[in-house]
Amino acid sequence: MTFAQLPALEVVVPLVAAPLTLLLRRATPAWAIATAACAFSFVAALLLAADVAARGPISYALGSWAPPWGIEYRVDALSAFVLVLVSGIAAAVAPFAWKSVAAELPRDQAYLFYTMYCLCVAGLLGMTITGDAFNLFVFMEIASLSSYVLIALGRDRRALLASYQYLILGTIGATFFVIGVGLLYLMTGTLNLADMAARLPQVHGARPVLAALAFITVGVSLKLALFPLHLWLPNAYTYAPSAVTAFLAATATKVSVYVLLRFYFSVFGPRLVVEELPMPEILLALSIIAIVTASLVALWQADLKRLFAYSSVAQIGYITLGISMASRDGLTAAIVHLFNHGVTKGALFLLVGGIALRAGRAGFDRVRGLARAMPLTSMGIVIAGLSLIGVPGTAGFISKWYLVLGAIEAGRWWLAALVVATSLIAVAYVWRFVESAYLSAPAAATPKPGEPPALMLVPAWLLVAACVWFGLETSFTVEGARRAAALLLGAAP
């Protein structure tokens, strides 16, 4: 039955699509293949998620080499959840990319965009699905290298510098990660994550294990843009092509969060990370700084893309805040927010991409009075913005709700208050858009007014609808996250 091969196909289809798009050398067929591959991955991820929910984790031995010797693909409650997010966003951004890429990239380079896009999707899906530490590193580099290229494709020359800086920091991050994996391999003699987790208690507390934890924490934190290591993110998101910003903002950092969760809870185990080491305190402090400072910095940005990039740093802070609680509600909040924020930011950056297409760029000077020329786009940004704030009835509310629950459960009322208070900063920066788009007179010369093409507007609005849908109907997100959180905490030795 081909269904048994789904875990491999999930990654292989976009991976094979990449060289195909390269061989075609024409933008339109390349786009069609990339879109089809992403849609296939999304359907496969949904089937896998349904299968995991019904029958428990799937273990797939690549090339029929049984784990721990061969590479294992492992789909459990957490990875299935992240797979759905990544492939779903990929499937939404791919149709959007056609017009957007045609407008922002030179014609002869457009097909290369889809090659890199497919590689990036394959890399991120591979990072999520694999159960092998070194395989994870290889996929991480596939995803990273392709995302450096994607960012460098931006029109502005500063995109090149942003890409270079991301390349340096990303490579340092990935190398730190592989140093940590190497130390773990030296101590346990295995690269299979489950096998590693089973053997680590034998060398509990050994110094190389602690060093490995430190290296992996710093390496992955660079990738997920945890507060002091986020410096690559604002420039990369601002100058990258719109479709790239939307895709990376919604998925890349989220997959890194997944890797961190996987190593903290499934490999090292909460006993070492949470009880014996002060990791929760460190994460808590960094998350709070990230939330407060990045939200405040976002307030002063003159460009919508840059504003939402800083808001991403803050929102990642909420996710790591949930992780730092290391309780069931805290982890549920982190995982739900990982999903909800991915959907929300994906929607926002797609809509901002529409503005960039019609108005040249997405500076606030171009947004003035935009609501009249682009009512659907403006309304979409407002709705997704409400989700970013966490207004009841939107996806963002669900994550903030569980975050507050987790804080109260831990007896930290001040933290609950802080989560609510910092949401007010989000109100302020979303209000800046409302004021500019709805309440200001249009700028004298707005080039090419009007909505972006349907192929760009429809995917964006699908994600906006998802923001509302997941705020009302939480059976998939909250139940999925609860199962994943239980899995992470239950896997403790």
Contacting positions for other proteins (CB under 8 A):
134, 137-138, 141, 145, 148-149, 152, 156-158, 160-161, 163-164, 167-168, 171-172, 175, 178-179, 182-183, 185-186, 191, 234, 238-239, 300-306, 361-363
Give which of 120, 149, 140 is closest to 41, Cα–Cα.
Answer: 120
CB nearer to other proteins: pick between 148 and 265: 148
Residue type, 458: V
Least distance between other proteins and beta carbon 308 (Å): 11
CB nearer to other proteins: pick between 163 and 320: 163
Instruction: Count Cβ atoms within 10 A of the Cβ of residue 205 and give its class: 0-12 exposed, 13-18 middle, 19 or more buried.
Output: exposed
CB nearer to other proteins: pick between 189 and 392: 189
Give which of 489, 468, 175 is closest to 332, Cα–Cα.
Answer: 489
Give which of 294, 391, 283 is closest to 340, Cα–Cα.
Answer: 391
Residues 207, 182 contacting (CB under 8 angstroms): no
Residues 159, 264 contacting (CB under 8 angstroms): no
Both tokens assigned to 287? 């998350």
Distances (CA, A) of 20 to 8, 13, 141, 438: 18, 11, 21, 45
Q: How far apart are CA 349 and CA 193, in angstroms?
A: 34
Q: How far apart are CA 196 and CA 181, in angstroms?
A: 10
CB nearer to other proteins: pick between 13 and 119: 119
CB nearer to other proteins: pick between 126 and 280: 126
Least distance between other proteins and beta carbon 281 (Å): 27
Least distance between other proteins and beta carbon 119 (Å): 11
CB nearer to other proteins: pick between 111 and 177: 177
In terms of phi and psi (left: phi > 0; alpha: psi -120 to 50; beta: otherwise), the region of 417 is alpha
| DSSP per residue, 108-126 | GGHHHHHHHHHHHHHHHHH
Q: How far apart are CA 313 and CA 159, in angstroms?
A: 19
Tell me whether the omega of the peptide bond preceding residue 68 falls within 30 degrees of 0, making it cis.
yes
Least distance between other proteins and beta carbon 151 (Å): 10
CB nearer to other proteins: pick between 352 and 384: 352
Distances (CA, A) of 425 to 229, 300, 371, 415: 22, 11, 23, 16
Least distance between other proteins and beta carbon 303 (Å): 2
CB nearer to other proteins: pick between 155 and 412: 155
Give which of 147, 140, 127, 289 is closest to 232, Cα–Cα.
Answer: 147
Least distance between other proteins and beta carbon 484 (Å): 29
Least distance between other proteins and beta carbon 343 (Å): 24
CB nearer to other proteins: pick between 159 and 419: 159
Least distance between other proteins and beta carbon 428 (Å): 15
Least distance between other proteins and beta carbon 148 (Å): 6
CB nearer to other proteins: pick between 184 and 485: 184
Least distance between other proteins and beta carbon 91 (Å): 27
CB nearer to other proteins: pick between 182 and 393: 182
Give which of 422, 399, 424 is closest to 323, Cα–Cα.
Answer: 399
Distances (CA, A) of 137 to 79, 124, 179, 184, 247: 16, 11, 10, 14, 20
| DSSP per residue, 250-272 | HHHHHHHHHHHHIIIIIII-HII
CB nearer to other proteins: pick between 319 and 367: 367
Least distance between other proteins and beta carbon 307 (Å): 9
Give which of 61, 74, 184, 177 is closest to 131, Cα–Cα.
Answer: 74
Least distance between other proteins and beta carbon 225 (Å): 16
Q: How far apart are CA 191 and CA 5, in angstroms?
A: 23
